[in-house]
Amino acid sequence: MDSLRVYNSLARDKQPFAPLVPGEVRMYVCGMTVYDYCHIGHARVMVVFDMVQRWLRTLGYRVTYVRNITDIDDKIIKRAVENGETMRDLTTRFIAAMHEDADALGVQRPDHEPRATDFIAQMVDMIGTLQRNGYAYQAEDGDVNYAVRKFSTYGQLSGKSIEDLRAGERVAANTAKQDPLDFVLWKRAKDTEPEESKWASPWGAGRPGWHIECSAMSCQLLGNHFDIHGGGADLQFPHHENEIAQSEGATGETFVNYWMHNGFVRVDNEKMSKSLGNFFTIREVLAKFDAEVVRFFILRAQYRSPLNYSDAHLDDARGGLTRLYTALKDAAGDGAPLDWSEPFAQRFAAAMNDDFNTPVAIAVLFELAGEINKQRNPVLVRQLQGLAATLGLLGRDPQSFLQGATGGEDAGDGDALRASVEARIEARAQAKRDRNFAEADRIRAELLAEGVVLEDRPGGATEWRRA
């Protein structure tokens, strides 16, 4: 297969991928802050980097994939206090909900999923090193801040210069900082905050700033210098910029070789946000749409491009996935392994090796499905199933998907629908035997209005699927 090329946000270009250790990839992705249910933007991060790690493993790399959990944060403290519960209870509950959502979307668990609160000691050590190296200072209010101007290459990831940042700055809310651009590494505890949000440190009781969490956890689990760091485009600045400053200021080494950022999720061409009222949790979406349809919808877009969310786009994705499953419905593979030398597979691999170009790779799947519809060739069936599997798609029984729930329906609902449809199919067959074709047509139209398509097969059998 062709060599992998990755768009590196740091270089602003596609670059040949060469891991630090041949045959091994170490990858860190910024995960969720767990004080509420995950939204569709989180779904995109999870699915995109699940796709990335799957393809890296398909290429034969030994991957160590780390995706962190932020379980200490101002929003977490505020929500726990409002709910009258401990932070641990709050975060444990939403971590479980996050796992349920990720599992439904076919997202494989990362190799490591560190919680920030389990790495406080490493964060304190890194802050101490930054202070000794001249990059950090304790302000009059007790907070420990990073002195941005001391890091000469600050802005390299985002392309923002210190002068640009100063020109656009607002009046600093925290006048204790030496410079408004400085950011917090350690927050001095407030008397009003719960005791469980306070940890001992050389600078007094408090808690870590958000940015230092990822620097400490990634360096601890992957080493000071590793291959890939990923996350949403909204994290490029300031979070990832600050991670570079912290990590390289503490270790004196290059932090990350390849920075990857997935695009925003948009609704009616506006960025999804709670303030605009266009905010959807994964659970709300899965109540209306099959989880594999949602995964397919996300992967059908190039990961760096904006993803425009709407019910119409998800309906279209459902139609596309239905076409692929329909091609497999009456076909079986030959049981042989996926053949990467076969022309469809070579084109699929070329697309994926071009910065994980899933839209082109999925177009190859549709071409394969079209050939299967013409030829019913077991080799092509095997190729379609095998290639789709590298994206986490088409792993279900086709009839199960085609007759399955569209989302939000439990097994009992599905069984009730199946029984109802099959009873009406039998009633339609009886009407045709009685030559009551008007009644047969009425039953077909009734089912179609309910989203059920009937397909009359040779020999008189009738099959059905969701529209």
Respond yes or no on whether the N-terminal peptide bond of residue 238 is cis (omega within 30° of 0).
yes
| Residue 308 main-chain phi, psi, to 5 deg | -90, 115
Q: Please indicate if the annotation marks 274 as binding a ligand.
A: yes
CA gap 219, 225 in Å, rounded: 7
Q: Please indicate if the annotation marks 30 as binding a ligand.
A: yes
Which residue's structure tokens are 């210190």?
A: 162
427 CB-near residues (< 8 Å, 6+ apart) = 443
Helix, strand, or coil (residue 266): strand
Angle at 209 between CA 205 and CA 214, to 5 degrees: 125
116-153 core/surface letters (b: 16 or more CB in 10 A; e: else): bbebbebbbebbbbbbeeebbbbbeebbbbbbbebbee
Surface-to-core class of residue 457, CB atoms within 10 Å of its CB (0-12 exposed, 13-18 middle, 19+ buried): exposed
Which secondary-structure segment (H or E) carries 272? none
CA gap 33, 91 in Å, rounded: 9
CA 455 to chain centre: 36
Which residue's structure tokens are 């170009």?
A: 357
Surface-to-core class of residue 396, CB atoms within 10 Å of its CB (0-12 exposed, 13-18 middle, 19+ buried): middle
CA gap 131, 147 in Å, rounded: 10
Q: Please indicate if the annotation marks 329 as binding a ligand.
A: no
CA gap 213, 233 in Å, rounded: 19
Helix, strand, or coil (residue 393): coil
Query: Which residues define the annotated binding site?
Result: 30, 214, 239, 243, 274
Query: Which residues define the annotated binding site for Zn(2+)?
Result: 30, 214, 239, 243
Query: Which residues define the annotated binding site for ATP?
Result: 274
